[in-house]
Amino acid sequence: MELSGATSFITGAAQGIGLGIARALARQGAKLALTDIDDTPLSEAAAELAELTEVAAFHLDVRDRAAYARVAEEAEERLGPVTVLCNNAGLAFPEQPQDMSYELWDLALDINLGGVVNGVQSFLPRMLRHGRPAHIVNTASAAGLIGAGVGPMYTSSKFAVVGLSESLRHQLEAAGHPIRVTVLCPGAVATNIARSSQSLVAAQEGGPELRRAQAGIEQLTPRIDAAVAHFGIPADTFGELVVEAVKADRLYVLSDRAGIDLITARTQAILSAMPEHHPVEVEGEGEGEADLEELRRAVRKS
């Protein structure tokens, strides 16, 4: 996809991976609509990137659908139709099973999954109306591929983003639309997401489970920040990987190979759980793929 002159809309763009993506897109000549809930770093990012390209900055909480609709409209009025959408805003926190609460479930799902849903729903109809090549980039996590090592709230939200992205990509391709989808599954990237997430968690109100989780998350945050700063790749490096993937139309972007053993083990466990034989007798080879394709055709006709 040609990025020079394209209008990009990026959530969570003030720092971390979002800023890394914005910098990489700016170097390609893309115009930038930057959004974030943190106004000071957002202004700083906009001032920096305005030296490279045309920039518009907007305060946006991705959970607020009405605000999202207003910002989407204003961004396209100022910069032109958005053809690169980066649903990047997110949070991460290390909860324990005994500390789970509805407040934390809502926070994780509303931002990590709901923010992506709101981005897709705000811009995909516009992209379909424009009918021009476009690309949607959804930030998930390596935790969206591996159900181990991270808390169930974060993992659930990121698995959902991976599934959403895969399904949307396949449906758009099958229908012949010139809109592609990429899902980001980073492992360790040197950002301050733990600290910014801790601030959001601390602002929630609830019962003893929540208060216990808040105390634990506050205690662990400095250790997480130190670990990702030491082991993580720079956000700008990951931003370049994202741009390369958009240009090459790749579905997945991973930052490293740290999870390869866990991904391999999970895949092998799924394959080993499959029945040895197809449960319905079908003549000929490849009956599973034939049945699946017949089901796909039926769904498309319905």
pLDDT digits (tens, 9 = 90+) for 80-92: 999 999 999 999 8
The pLDDT value recorded for residue 216 is: 85
d(CA 172, CA 134): 11
What share of the chain in percent tops pLDDT 70? 93
pLDDT above 60: residue 2: yes
CA angle 194, 84, 69 (to 5 degrees): 80
What share of the chain in percent tops pLDDT 90? 71
Average pLDDT, the chain: 91
- Identify the band that residue 288 occupies on the pLDDT scale cut at 50, 70 and 90: low
Cβ count within 10 A of residue 37: 18
d(CA 13, CA 169): 23
The pLDDT value recorded for residue 277 is: 83
- Identify the band that residue 145 occupies on the pLDDT scale cut at 50, 70 and 90: very high
Q: Average pLDDT in the 104-132 region? A: 97
d(CA 115, CA 61): 8
The pLDDT value recorded for residue 298 is: 67
- Identify the band that residue 243 occupies on the pLDDT scale cut at 50, 70 and 90: very high
Q: Which residue has the tokens 């216990």?
A: 212
pTM to 2 decimals? 0.90
d(CA 86, CA 243): 11
As separate numbers, helices (DSSP H) first and strands (DSSP E) second, the chain gives: 11, 9
**Full set of structural domains in the chain with CATH:** 7-258 (3.40.50.720), 260-302 (no CATH)
User: Considering only CA atoms, which of 185, 108, 112 is closest in space to residue 142?
Assistant: 185
pLDDT above 80: residue 285: no
d(CA 202, CA 127): 37
pLDDT above 70: residue 169: yes
Order across the sheet with 82-87: list the strands: 55-59, 31-36, 7-10, 82-87, 134-139, 179-185, 252-254
Residue 252: active-site member: no
Ranges 61-65, 148-152, 181-185: which has the least confidence: 148-152
